[in-house]
A and B are shown apart, each in its own frame.
Chain A
Amino acid sequence: MALLDDIEALNKAFSGFGVDETSILSILGNSNHEHKKSLRQGWSKLFCEDEYGFERFDPSHVKNLKLEFKRFRDAVMLSVLHPWERDARLIEKAIKKGPKHYNIIVEIACSRSSEELLGARKAYHSLFDQSMEEDIAAHVKGSERKLLVALVSAYRYEGPKVHDHVAKCEAEILATAVKNGDRKKPIEEEEVIMILATRSKPHLQEVYQHYHKICGKSITEDLEAHGILKDTVECLCTPETYFTRVLDLGLSVDADEESKKAVTRVIVTRKEALVKDVQNKIEGCLKGFYKDFMLGLIARGEK
């Protein structure tokens, strides 16, 4: 029956990641008053009978639907910004939103080049009348503060020169810190922060290799239980691994809103770091203009 088909089509259009604007337009755009009433009465997923005699829109679904409609808009707004302003605004929001969002600060501070991070710091001055590091230092408490301030303050050397002997010593320092992890958290070890926040990325890659030789495991494996420290280590030298993980999490069936937002952020900001099969994953999960926009960004691959 046409009504059931319509309801099924609308269910599909409204569920998942983004909304299918075209479907919605063709069905609802052509619905008259009577048809809409029938839709509401038959659409048990979204509407229920209210005791006062009308079909009420389920409030939790309203909320979710609004978020899905917003997805395309947010993606466009984010992608239109200059990368410096974009990163500065993302960091400022993350600081205000609290500890669960600190991984965004790590993500930006570690995966950007020295000049990109510097640009974000300059934009921060202009947008918020403060320096990035003072905002972080003032709002972040606990052991994450030292790490985050140090990471955003870095202006890493970008040349290939590496000191093998130093890399070996520093791998040993990290190994010891990890080993003593149950007595003192590695994130509270000044030496650990100093190594991760000041050394160049090529140098850190050497450090990781030595670490693997010493411990038999990769440092990211050993830091699995250590939250943003693990993110730090990953973003610095194997950002593709980090971004793939974030994307997979966001595209999974029971992803929460923050994980879904991360998908937009990662695709808009780091298209070029994404692995090849991400396009297939997106085809299956995303909908509507949001999907087209994300696919377009990836296809173009530039910033």
Chain B
Amino acid sequence: MGVWTFTSVFSFDMKLSRWGTNEDLIIQILAHRNAEQRKLIRQTYAEAYGEDLLKALDKELSNDFERLILLWTLEPAERDAYLANEATKKWTSSNQVLMEIACTRSANQLLHARQAYHARFKKSLEEDVAHHTTGDFRKLLLPLVSSYRYEGDEVNLTLAKSEAKILHEKISGKAYNDEDLIRILATRSKAQINATLNHYKNEYGNDINKDLKADPKDEFLALLRATVKCLVRPEKYFEKVLRLAINKRGTDEGALTRVVATRAEIDLKIIAEEYQKRSSVPLDHAIGKDTHGDYEKMLLALLGHEA
């Protein structure tokens, strides 16, 4: 379907005083467009009607569905900026969204998100994180969102050995907010961290996340474990977020929406495979069971989206 088909959806309604949108058409059209195409649709709509498509949708759609459409239609960099800003404004010590964005995006994707943040919010992401987070969380989050990691595969094995030792020392001494521990996680390349963690397991017997489980209620430790996962096994991190979101009494739509919208063009299929492995239920079944209406339809359409 062409761009003009989409705008015709709205032109029908412009003639009426009461707006009514055809959600099925929106799902059909948007779900199967890639980022470039969605951008074009947004531009064309704005030229034709003088209004941002997202603002127009905002007035009409119901909460979960609207949010999903909003996130999906935004360009990845804007989307990350939007989510990050939201996360700083309603930040609590259990919120992991800032870390998720900082650690699962590539160095350039994070950079683009920071640029989009300037443009949209007239400040830098790091100043908002500095202003809204506190204590140990801030000590970890600020360097994470400011990083511009080297992306090569080169690994220094001697360094991996010495840094695995540092990590082990600090963790054994329960110095979880130690500067060196944070600096390793926040500045080293993902390949280097992977090598370090492999050495950690070989040398000290346990996965680092096992050793970071000393206190299951400690939210900072939970954030550290999630950071490690995001850096080396993002699909496992996202699988867990989805699993917890779907199993919660009702469903944590916020997390479900976010993961599906942000990973649909990246690795949602791999995450879905992980999900099925772990829960013995295909992800689409689980979503079908726990959500309904247009929201469910859009989620499933994105799940099937070919990147």
Contacts and interface: CB of A to CB of B under 8 A. Distances in A.
A229 B123 CA distance: 23
B142 A137 contact: no
Given A131-B189, A161-B122, A200-B123, A194 B150 contact: no
Interface in B146-178: 146-152, 154
A237 interface: no
Given A131-B189, A137-B187, A149-B143, A157 B122 contact: yes
A157 B127 contact: yes
A118 B138 CA distance: 23
Nearest to B148: A121
B130 interface: yes
Given A154-B126, A157-B127, A161-B123, A149 B118 contact: no
A277 interface: no
A146 interface: yes
Contact of A129 (B126, B139, B150): B150
B118 A133 contact: no
A150 interface: yes
Contact of B183 (A149, A157, A197, A198): A149
Contacts of A125: 148, 150-152
A129 B152 CA distance: 7
B86 interface: no
Contacts, number: 88
A122 B111 CA distance: 11
A199 to B, nearest CB: 6
A134 B187 contact: yes
A155 interface: yes
A134 B150 contact: yes
Interface string A160-203: 01000010000000000000000000000010001001111000
A62 B186 CA distance: 47
Given A153-B148, A158-B118, A159-B118, A133 B126 contact: no
For chain A, what secondary structure do more than half of its interface residues adopt (helix, strand, loop), or is it mixed?
helix
B202 interface: no
Contacts of B189: 130-131, 134
A157 B123 contact: yes
Interface in B111-147: 111, 114-115, 118, 122-127, 130-131, 138-139, 142-143, 146-147
A131 B123 contact: no
B179 interface: yes
B122 A198 contact: no
A71 B122 CA distance: 44
Of the listed residues A157, A158, A200, the one surrounded by the most CB atoms of chain B closer than 10 A to its CB is A157
Contacts of A101: none
B126 A155 contact: yes
A198 B142 CA distance: 10
Contact of B130 (A118, A159, A198): A198
A129 B149 CA distance: 10
A249 B99 CA distance: 45
B150 A154 contact: no
B188 interface: yes
A198 B124 contact: yes
A161 B122 CA distance: 7
Given A131-B150, A155-B146, A194 B130 contact: yes
Contacts of A137: 183, 186-187
B144 to A, nearest CB: 10
A132 B148 CA distance: 8
A156 interface: yes
A150 B146 contact: yes
A154 B188 contact: no
B278 to A, nearest CB: 33
Given A129-B152, A134-B150, A153-B146, A198 B126 contact: yes
Nearest to B180: A137
A37 to B, nearest CB: 56
A260 B147 CA distance: 34
A131 B187 contact: yes
A190 B143 CA distance: 13
Of the listed residues B139, B150, B188, the one surrounded by the most CB atoms of chain A closer than 10 A to its CB is B150
A121 B151 CA distance: 12
Nearest to A121: B148
Interface string A124-156: 010001111110011000000110011001111
A159 B122 contact: yes
A153 B244 CA distance: 34
A190 B142 CA distance: 11
A134 B123 CA distance: 25
Given A149-B187, A159-B118, A161-B123, A131 B149 contact: yes
Interface in A79-114: none
A133 B124 CA distance: 18
Contacts of A132: 148
Interface of B: 111, 114-115, 118, 122-127, 130-131, 138-139, 142-143, 146-152, 154, 179, 183, 186-189
7 contacts: A118-B148, A134-B183, A137-B186, A155-B118, A155-B146, A166-B131, A198-B142
Given A130-B150, A134-B187, A157-B123, 20 more contacts: A122-B148, A129-B150, A131-B148, A131-B189, A133-B147, A134-B150, A138-B187, A145-B179, A149-B183, A153-B126, A154-B124, A154-B126, A154-B146, A155-B114, A155-B115, A155-B125, A155-B146, A157-B118, A159-B122, A190-B139
